[in-house]
Amino acid sequence: MAELEEVIKKDDVQIITITESWGQTWKEASLEIEGFNMYKKHRADGRRGGGCLIYVSKELKSYACKQMENVPGDDSVWCWVKIADGARILVGCIYRSPTSSVENNELIMNQIVKASEVADQNRILLMGDFNVKEINWIEVEATGGKNPYHTDSMNALKIAFCTSMY
């Protein structure tokens, strides 16, 4: 955490997301970062690995997104961040295991579409580790491969009107 805290100070970071936090194996206090609110989701089924964290600077007003808390699917966490003029950004962090099942892949895509609905006219900042190699994130398109998840995930992002900030 010392390295991360050094980067935060040097670069004046306001929002941080971490995937594969393995949160259930750490003491809660060891995950906290001074000056940041932490939003977390650890694997509920007791499996090792996974987990997502969002840190938002206390200089920004933030709060948990209740509408996304019970949306089915592994390893995602969501919060709202208020910005100028009362506008809000829905911030999400998703981790998709490279061995994710077809069912979990569908749940992740449904989460993205649901986030778009929850955000309504507000912006979404979605970060994470999707473990999708055959994606051109700059053009937001699937570049091949035999896994239909690659094409399906791009379609979900397009349905949710997402663009890549790669």
Which pTM was predicted? 0.81
Cα-flanking dihedrals φ and ψ of residue 131, to 5°? 50, 50
Query: Bridge-partner residues for 109, per DSSP?
Result: none
What is the side-by-side order of every strand in the sheet holding 52-57?
Answer: 15-19, 52-57, 36-41
Per-residue pLDDT of the chain (166 residues; tens, 9 = 90+): 678 778 888 888 999 999 876 655 555 556 788 899 999 886 666 666 678 999 999 999 999 999 998 887 768 999 999 988 889 999 999 988 888 888 888 888 888 889 999 999 899 999 988 887 776 767 767 676 666 666 666 666 655 555 555 4
Q: Tokens 């994606």 map to which residue?
A: 135
Which domains does the chain possess?
2-159 (3.60.10.10)
